[in-house]
Amino acid sequence: MAKSLYEISEADLKIWLKDNGFKTFRSKQIIDWIFKKFILNPCDMLNIPKKLQNALNNEFICNSAKIEKIQCASDGTEKLLISYSGTNDAVECVIIPSAKRITFCLSTQIGCPVKCTFCASGQHGLQRNLSAGEILEQLLLCSKAINAKPDNIVFMGVGEPMLNIKNLIIALDFISGTDYFALGQRHITISTSGIVNGILKLANLKRQYNLAVSLHAPNDALRERIIPSELRANIKDILEACVEYRAQTTRMVTLEYILIKNLNNSYKNAIELAKLAKEYYTKINIIPYNKVDEVSYLPPTEKDITSFINILEENGAKVTRRIKRGDDSDAACGQLRNRNILSREPKPKL
């Protein structure tokens, strides 16, 4: 199977160029076009000979993704629905601007096998992993859309990154590599539902990526209601893996906590969560629940949010609150993709 042009190292590209009768200095030109100018089609690489342009298109997967739809929110957030040639499905990525920075939220899988009950991403199950090249193509399309690199990247889109860890690590090498996209490791965050083996593999790399764990409950009984999948690990095992991650990287892990009214926002829940955060030396990010189609959960009120955060802080936890972005534009991950799937389904005959 052909490999994506965007996941070919400069060393391997030089070998291919030499083997095919081209000058090896072209490798630097090609990489600059891709990762500095966000040009995905070799035919648009203007200082590359036509013969080489054609050879690259014939040998490698190039320019395989396209933006099916852009949905804009009133706060400037843009959600992109991206499809890949040869597939009847799509993924989402999001461009999130703020006063001081631009963040890209990227996906790692088409669909998700974890199936958290509050989340739209897993409602249609897992279709497949994205290749490293497809992950990078999302990044490059977003960069091309704003004609700039982001300040931060978060892998918090559709899919469970740690279940596609091999391809994710390859993509991360290109994203943070100084000869490629060159985004600092501390500006990259990987979010996981708590796949212990994936956390430990990432820890063993000893890199400075930020790790965020979608905990969403302070005890296993409640977490089982929120994440019913067999992929769910025990909280103790997850947090011990987080301790190892911190030991290997020096980075404090964030516990993500979707706050859902009448489910996980009680006084007792807050006390338990604060205790875990202190014991395992983690910080907490409170994320008010975004309403998802066909899910009966309720978003917390502003009073609910403030009260929960106050209890955490009074009990010694380090807490931040995620500001809602794109709230009027299918803000929750997976919603735009799900509506796209539904629109493609054949209509029932009357």
pLDDT in tens, 250-279: 999 999 999 999 999 999 999 999 999 999
The predicted model scores a pTM of 0.92
Q: Is 333 a catalytic residue?
A: yes
Name the domain boundary from 18, 39, 59: 59
Considering the domain architecture, whether residues 236 and 127 belong to the same structural domain is answered as yes
pLDDT at 125: 87
Residues 166 and 54 in one domain: no
Q: Indicate which residue of 78, 92, 137, 160 is catalytic.
A: 92
Write down the pLDDT at residue 345.
Answer: 46
pLDDT at 349 over 50: no
pLDDT of 142 over the 90 cut:
yes
pLDDT, tens digit (0-9, with 9 covering 90-100), for 78-87: 999 999 887 7
- Answer yes or no: do 150 and 78 share one domain: yes
- Flag whether 245 is in a domain: yes
Token digits of residue 61: 């997967």
Residues sharing a CB contact under 8 Å with residue 325, sequence separation 6 or more, in sequence order: 73, 75, 77, 96, 331
- From 62, 105, 119, 333, active-site residue: 333
- Based on the fold, state whether residues 162 and 91 are members of the same structural domain: yes
What are the tens digits of pLDDT across the range 288-315? Answer: 998 877 678 999 999 999 999 999 999 9
Q: Are residues 179 and 108 in the same domain?
A: yes
Tally Cβ neighbours within 10 Å of residue 298: 14
Number of structural domains in the chain: 2
The vertex-275 CA angle with 119 and 202, nearest 5°, equals 55
54 in the same domain as 101: no
Residues 6+ apart with CB under 8 A from 175: 136, 139, 153, 181, 183, 188
Among 17, 44, 59, which residue terminates a domain? 59
Question: Quick one: 126 and 235 in the same domain?
Answer: yes
Per the structure, the complete domain to which residue 15 belongs is given by 5-59
Highest mean pLDDT among 96-100, 125-129, 216-220, 333-337: 216-220
The end-to-end CA distance of the chain, in Å, is: 44
Tell me the average pLDDT across 31-38. 98
CB atoms within 10 A of CB 154: 19
120: its two tokens:
């739209």
pLDDT for residue 347 is more than 50: no
Confidence of residue 342 (pLDDT cuts 50, 70, 90): very low
Q: Does residue 84 share a domain with residue 54? A: no
Tell me the CA distances in angstroms from 327 to 5, 142, 146, 194, one per residue in order: 36, 20, 21, 26
Residue 349 lies in a domain: no
| Domain limit, last residue, from 59, 74, 92 | 59
Position 219 in a domain? yes
The CATH number linked to 216 is 3.20.20.70
What pLDDT does 327 receive?
Answer: 56
CB 48 within 8 A of CB 31: no
For strand 90-97 and strand 102-105, is the pairing parallel, antiparallel, or unpaired? antiparallel
Compute CA distances 32 → 39, 51, 179, 275, whole Å: 9, 19, 9, 48
pLDDT the model gives residue 229:
86
What pLDDT does residue 335 have?
55
The answer to whether residues 210 and 192 touch, using CB atoms and an 8 Å cutoff, is: no
Give percent above pLDDT 90 in the chain.
Answer: 83
In this structure, the answer to whether residues 51 and 190 fall within a common structural domain is no
Query: What pLDDT, on the 0 to 100 scale, is given for residue 325?
Result: 62
Tell me what the mean pLDDT of segment 26-45 comes to.
98
Considering the domain architecture, whether residues 143 and 265 belong to the same structural domain is answered as yes
Q: Is the dihedral of CA 89, 65, 340, 256 positive or negative?
A: positive
pLDDT value at position 181? Answer: 98
Are residues 140 and 210 both part of a single domain?
yes
Phi, psi torsion values for 33, nearest 5 degrees: -60, -40
Summarised one tens digit per residue, pLDDT across range 184-195 is 999 999 999 999
Mean pLDDT of 40-52: 97
Q: Is residue 350 part of a domain?
A: no
What confidence score (pLDDT) does residue 328 get? Answer: 53
Residues 190 and 211 sit within 8 Å (Cβ to Cβ): yes
333 lies in the same domain as 234? yes
Confidence band of 9 (pLDDT split at 50, 70, 90): very high
Q: What is the mean pLDDT of the chain?
A: 92
